[in-house]
Chain A
Amino acid sequence: MTTATRTATGPVHVTAEVLATKSVGAFHHLSLVAPDVGERSSPGSFLALSVGDGHLARRAFWIHRVGPMGGHRAVVEIVVEERGAGSRALAALPAGAPVAVTGPLGRPFALPREPVRCLLIGDGYAAAALTGLAERLRERGCGVHLVLGGSDDAHVLEPLAARRSVGHVEVAVGDLTAAVLRALPEVDVAYAAASPETQRFVADAVAGTGVTCQVALERPLTCATGLCHGCPVPVLDDQGDPHVVRACVDGPVFRAGRVDWEALG
């Protein structure tokens, strides 16, 4: 196993090994032995995988879980939804297969200093970005209300496992907007990992309410490491002036009010 490690923090590029693979609902879960990636990750971090076979772009996935498995200290679990040739090839990787991994990547979620009431909104496989966050918030004494959405039951990410580790889980198949609107008056902070439409809905819903909101944006990434400038996110600064930043290194987590949703498209 080769490891390119320069510092004690930040991302590494390693040859990882697929330790286990399983299908859960509509998704494939891959457990990866990727030295230093899990240890360095925080809730909201993601990693990038190489596909091989002439595919030059990386494929990015939220880090769903980090934990001991099969004698390894910090196995990283990701959730793959088959959407194209790259994700199909990765979903089909057998146990024991090597795969190039870069991570942990991106700016993770900012955690509250006080024990506040938190609403977590996760749609489809993007809810994987919230798993570690929910645990960390509970450790800090925060109340956690998780709304899990998906286009159908198979696309709702592990509701049973979520119920075991999170205080209050609400499953909203199809449309989760009503559940979000019901929950918002009861919370101080909201975190959303969902489609851009759902995230914009949440951003609009919290505007002016005093609820602070962070969104984990999922944009098309090429390098995922900040090198290519291929993942523009339009943002507004404190004066309201527009700028373009990169989803992969300036995000993927943004304050909802900083994103120029109109220009994001």
Chain B
Amino acid sequence: MSDWPFTNPVLTASGCGGTGRELAAYGDLTELGGFVTRSVTLQERPGGGEPRIVESPSGLVNAIGLQNPGVAGFLRDELPPLVDLGAPVVVSIAGHSLGEYAELARTVGRTDGVIALEVNLSAPDPLGSGLLDAREPFQAGSVVGSCRRDLRADLLLLVKLRSDVSRVAETARAVVEAGADAVVVGNAQPAALPDGRAGGLSGPAIRPQSLRCVAEVARALPDTPLIGCGGIMDADDAREYLAAGARAVQVGTALFHDPTTAFRIAREIGPQTEPPAGEDDR
């Protein structure tokens, strides 16, 4: 596989850092392991109706609806400023079909300044969002295979899976066999807004479940690099994930509460010191 490109084990989570320019007001993006963009689709998406986010105990329920300018708009308007800032950019992609995923991977893979691709297979409401249904392991594997086929070999391919305790290890195995270099475990959990619309629950409320999923995948696939995500608010939370077998973490919802969180955790945990994959003596 390609080299591990993250010099710090703390990344932002997709959809939680604006376009990156807003987050850069509160810290130096080059100090993060990675800035993961919001999920980019082939066509522009205006996003869902209001309310888009409501509070719940120790969490937020969101239904943003993957608002994004489409891959062309993203490459034209949002990626260049990130590259100028020196951000270690990970582009998250979401597709409505296998063909769209493949086209997105090809397009982003041809672009300079991107250190990894993250295939989003973890939307809390994929069907309502109109995304390809990839909840079954074989479907997830198909998506990853179609992305991997045309992707340049030196670009790290991450696959982000939902924290579904009963299926996550099996799905992780399927995507690794299909060509994923590393697996991101944990996104907002399927939930509903007070008006009944489908959304995703994020924040500390879901951390124990995401942690369990990371532990399950680490046991099942001890040689696969894992990135843990879900409810990380401080460095101690991040260390829990690292102790459970994650090699890196993503910080998301905490940024909405305090935009300096990821920078602070990155400084506290420090630069990546583990050996590169393959030389791990685990």
Q: Are A and B physically bound partners? A: yes
Q: Is A96 an interface residue (CB 8 A)?
A: no
A83 CB within 8 Å of chain B: no
Tell me if B260 is interfacial: C-beta within 8 Å of chain A.
Answer: yes
Q: Is the CB of A11 within 8 A of B46?
A: no
- The verdict on A223 contacting chain B, using a C-beta distance below 8 Å, is yes
For residue A31, CB closer than 8 A to chain B, the reply is no
In this assembly, does A230 line the interface, its C-beta being within 8 Å of a C-beta of chain B?
Answer: yes
B56-64, B145-153, B168-176, B214-222: which lies at the A interface?
B56-64
B26 within 8 A of A: yes
CB-CB < 8 A to A6: which residues of B? 25-28
| Chain B proximity of A241: nearest CB distance (Å) | 11
Contact call A13/B26, Cβ cutoff below 8 A: yes
Q: Measured between C-beta atoms, what is the minimum distance from A220 to chain B in Å?
A: 6
Residues of A within 8 A of B26 (CB): 4, 6, 11, 13, 225
Which residues in window 43-83 of B have CB below 8 A to A?
46-47, 49-53, 55, 57-60, 62, 64, 67
Instruction: Tell me which of B17, B53, B58, B259 contacts A102 (CB under 8 A).
Output: B259
Contact of A222 with B258 at beta-carbon distance under 8 Å, contacts A229-B15, A232-B50, A244-B67 already known: no
Which of A51-59, A73-81, A87-95, A155-163 contacts the other chain?
Answer: A51-59
* Smallest beta-carbon distance B107→chain A, Å: 22
Contact of A249 (CB < 8 Å), options: B16, B18, B28, B256: B18
Least CB separation from A249: chain B residue: B22
Interface size on B, residues (CB 8 A): 38
- Tell whether, in the assembled complex, residue A13 and residue B67 are in contact, meaning their CB atoms are under 8 Å apart: no
In the complex, the answer to whether B53 meets A228 with C-beta atoms within 8 Å is yes
Smallest CB gap from A102: residue in B: B259
Minimum CB–CB distance for A146 against chain B, Å: 30
| Interface secondary structure of B, over-half rule | loop
Q: By the criterion CB–CB under 8 Å, are B50 and A220 in contact?
A: yes
| Least Cβ–Cβ distance between A100 and chain B, in angstroms | 6
A226 proximal to B (CB < 8 A) = yes
CA distance A265 to B49 in the complex (A): 10
In the bound assembly, the distance between CA atoms of A6 and B31 in angstroms comes to 13
CA distance A15 to B129 in the complex (A): 38
Q: Which residues of A contact B263 (CB under 8 A)?
A: 4
Given contacts A226-B18, A227-B17, A228-B64, contact A10 B25 (CB under 8 A): yes
Using known A-B contacts A13-B26, A56-B59, determine if residue A50 contacts B18 with beta carbons closer than 8 Å: no
Q: Does A7 contact B (CB under 8 A)?
A: yes
Interface membership of B203, Cβ < 8 A: yes
Q: With an 8 A cutoff between CB atoms, is B189 at the interface?
A: no
Residues of chain B within 8 A of A55, CB atoms compared: 55
| Docked pose: A242 CA to B47 CA in angstroms | 13
Q: Which residues of A contact B52 (CB under 8 A)?
A: 222, 229-232
The CA-CA distance from A193 to B106 in the complex, in Å, is 47
Q: Are A230 and B258 in contact (CB under 8 A)?
A: no
CB distance from A53 to the nearest CB of B (A): 10
Say whether B256 contacts A227, CB under 8 Å.
yes
Which residues in A have their C-beta under 8 angstroms from that of B258? 13, 50, 100
With the chains together, A100 CA to B18 CA distance in Å? Answer: 20
Contact A229 B47 (CB under 8 A): yes
A13–B261 Cα gap in the complex (Å)?
Answer: 11
Residues of A near B64 (CB, < 8 A) are 228-230
Residue of B nearest to A231 (CB): B52
- Closest partner residue, chain B, to A56 (CB atom): B257
* Bound CA span A225–B257, Å: 10
B47 cross-chain contacts in A, Cβ below 8 A = 229, 232, 244
Which residue of the partner chain B has the closest CB to A100? Answer: B258
A226-240 interface mask toward B, CB cutoff 8 Å, 1 = contact, 0 = none? 111111100000000
B67 and A56 form a contact (CB under 8 A): no
Given contacts A50-B258, A229-B15, A229-B47, contact A57 B53 (CB under 8 A): yes
Is the beta-carbon distance between B15 and A56 smaller than 8 angstroms?
Answer: no
**CB distance B62 to A228 under 8 Å?**
yes
Contacting residues, chain A, for B165 (C-beta < 8 A): none
Residue among B254, B256, B258, B263 with the highest chain A CB neighbour number at 10 A: B256
Q: Which residues of B contact A100 (CB under 8 A)?
A: 258
> Which of B28, B67, B203 is in CB contact (< 8 Å) with A229?
B67
Bound CA–CA A144/B189 (angstroms): 52
Bound together, the chains give a CA A219 to CA B64 distance in angstroms of 15
The 7 closest A-B pairs by CB, nearest first: A226-B22, A223-B256, A230-B53, A222-B53, A226-B18, A230-B52, A227-B18
Taking Cβ atoms with an 8 Å cutoff, the residues of A that contact B are 4, 6-7, 10-11, 13, 50, 54-58, 100, 102, 219-220, 222-223, 225-232, 242-244, 249, 265
New A-B contacts (20) at CB < 8 Å, excluding given A102-B259, A244-B47? A4-B263, A6-B27, A13-B259, A56-B58, A56-B59, A57-B257, A220-B53, A222-B52, A222-B256, A226-B18, A226-B22, A228-B16, A228-B64, A229-B67, A230-B51, A230-B52, A232-B46, A232-B50, A244-B67, A265-B50
